[in-house]
Homo-oligomer: A and B are copies of this chain.
Amino acid sequence: MIANPYQLPLDQTGSVTTPKGFRAAGIAAGIKASGNPDLALVVNDGPSFDAAAVFTSNRIFAAPVAWSRGVTADGYVKAVVLNSGGANACTGPDGLRDAIKTATAVAGEIDAAVMDVAVCSTGLIGVRLPMDKLLPGVSAAAAALSADGGADAARAIMTTDTVPKTASYTSPDGWSIGGMAKGAGMLAPALATMLVVITTDAQVRPLALDKALRAATVVSFDRVDSDGCQSTNDTVICLANGASGMQPLPDEFVQALSAVCADLGLQLLADAEGAAHDIAIHVTGAATESDALEVGRSIARNNLFKCAIFGNDPNWGRVLAALGTTTAVYDPDQLDVSFNGVMVYRQGALGEDRSNVDLTPRTVEIVVDLHAGSHQATIWTNDLTYDYVKENAEYSS
């Protein structure tokens, strides 16, 4: 796994129930034909019910996204219910009614208003959810809620994930952040959704929470760019209850939240279906951060580059060709490109011998120095492999 750039101690055995005052559950409601767990519930027991959320920017978005945008708009959320086994996307007005019925069922179980229950779904597009199984599942999940149910919840939201993804950070001051995620970045089959729930017992007011969540996702999930494909269901929800009684400094909280988000993002990347390499593309010396991001994304989305990495080929020509399609500021005669520490292209000309590059490790670090300024950004991506094609060709959705 690519190293987390944040120098904070994180615990991947922690989860959404690591912070005080949260309960969770994950059960098998029968939505998945496999009988695997498919329904998760995360409940905030207060004393505060602050919340923030970010959603897919795709204009074709699923019913639960439509519903949860409304729920989270006032910054007050008591619970999140998540199902795998069906995305409830492109299902029309009936699909929206199903999402509302799900929230209503949760509200009845935990004594909340229906408008305070967010809903997330992941799975196949264009198929109605089996409400006859989902609604009894909500009752079962509510009955199973526990203060150590975070791991079960993380397992119940898996689709093509091979492992559950959780992480937590505990501050020396006694507050903590816990999170769970599913999906393989944006690389997994059939637009496998990225769903993330993060909890914290720190005291953070809704507007500050919103600002912190946006700051953290911009430098974490937004920079995991497995295949440039954007889901209809992506959702990141953060719940804060203040149960620790501690109020972190804003910057301190943003750093911790960013670290947890980066860790979950890198776990998604490491479990991306069919990938053989995890790639960090560091763009340095950029005139602006926006230039650095544009260059990083253009390389990350270049199929020829991604195939080369799969073939363990330090193909700097494909990096340059991708760079050439951007609007970033640079002088072609000043560019440096390194693969795993070997500068194969230096000041716009041949550098060290490419045979010195070893791409057999799963982790690959590319550095592109534009020599045009002092800004930088890193994009994380995967290679393009036979297995990626296989999974996405054979998985009929």
Contact = CB atoms under 8 A, between A and B. Distances in A.
Contacts of A126: 316-317, 350
A207 interface: no
Interface in A172-229: 189-191, 227-229
B317 A90 contact: yes
Contacts of A190: 304, 315, 317-318
Given A58-B321, A90-B320, A190-B304, A396 B345 contact: no
A356 interface: no
A191 to B, nearest CB: 5
Interface in A90-104: 90, 92
A318 B12 CA distance: 33
Nearest to A326: B59
A321 B228 contact: no
Contacts of A136: none
A324 B394 contact: no
Interface stretch (A22-30, A155-163, A306-314): A306-314
Interface string A48-62: 000000000111110
A384 interface: yes
A304 B90 contact: no
Instruction: Report the copy number of this chain in the oligomer.
Output: 2
Nearest to A344: B126
A231 B389 contact: no
A231 B317 CA distance: 10
Given A315-B396, A315-B397, 11 more contacts: A59-B326, A90-B316, A90-B317, A227-B303, A228-B303, A230-B324, A303-B392, A307-B393, A384-B389, A384-B393, A386-B390
A352 to B, nearest CB: 13
A320 B396 contact: no
A307 B191 CA distance: 12
A303 to B, nearest CB: 5
B92 A393 contact: no
10 contacts: A60-B332, A90-B349, A189-B304, A190-B318, A229-B318, A307-B388, A307-B392, A311-B393, A385-B393, A389-B389
A230 B125 contact: no
Contacts of A384: 303, 389, 392-393
Nearest to A394: B311
A130 interface: no
Contacts of A393: 307-308, 310-311, 313, 384-385
Contacts of A348: 92
A302 interface: yes
